[in-house]
């Protein structure tokens, strides 16, 4: 064989170097797989957290809007009832004044 680099002088040396490169490749692949798993787990966890936060925010906002609508409806009903009562009092006074004039 032609001497081109250390370890490549014999067939055994070439096989030894090849196994070394294969181990390096396996190690690099395993490291990359672990990193991908960690990244996926982190992304999934962040997605779950954001989804939970969004759900809570929507529920809280819905509750607040429903409470506001309920308060507004109650206030409007009170105002309408008050106006109706005042209008009835005015009508009664006008009728009394008309009957006293007649």
State pLDDT tens for residues 36-50: 999 999 999 999 999
- How many residues make up the chain in this entry? 102
Cα–Cα distance for residue pair 64/67, rounded to 1 Å:
5
Q: What are 79-91's pLDDT values in tens digits?
A: 998 898 989 989 9
Name the band, by pLDDT with cuts 50, 70 and 90, for residue 3: very low
Cα–Cα distance for residue pair 37/78, rounded to 1 Å:
61
pLDDT at residue 1 greater than cutoff 50: no
């Amino acid at each position: 064989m032609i001497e081109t680099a250390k370890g490549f002088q014999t067939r055994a040396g070439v096989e030894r170097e090849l196994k070394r490169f294969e181990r390096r490749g396996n190690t690099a692949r395993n490291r990359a797989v672990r990193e991908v798993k960690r990244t996926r787990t982190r992304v999934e966890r962040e997605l779950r957290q954001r989804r939970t936060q969004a759900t809570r925010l929507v529920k809280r906002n819905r509750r607040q809007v429903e409470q506001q609508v309920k308060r507004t409806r109650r206030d409007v009903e009170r105002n309408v009832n008050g106006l109706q009562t005042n209008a009835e009092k005015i009508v009664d006074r006008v009728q009394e004044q008309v009957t006293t004039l007649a």
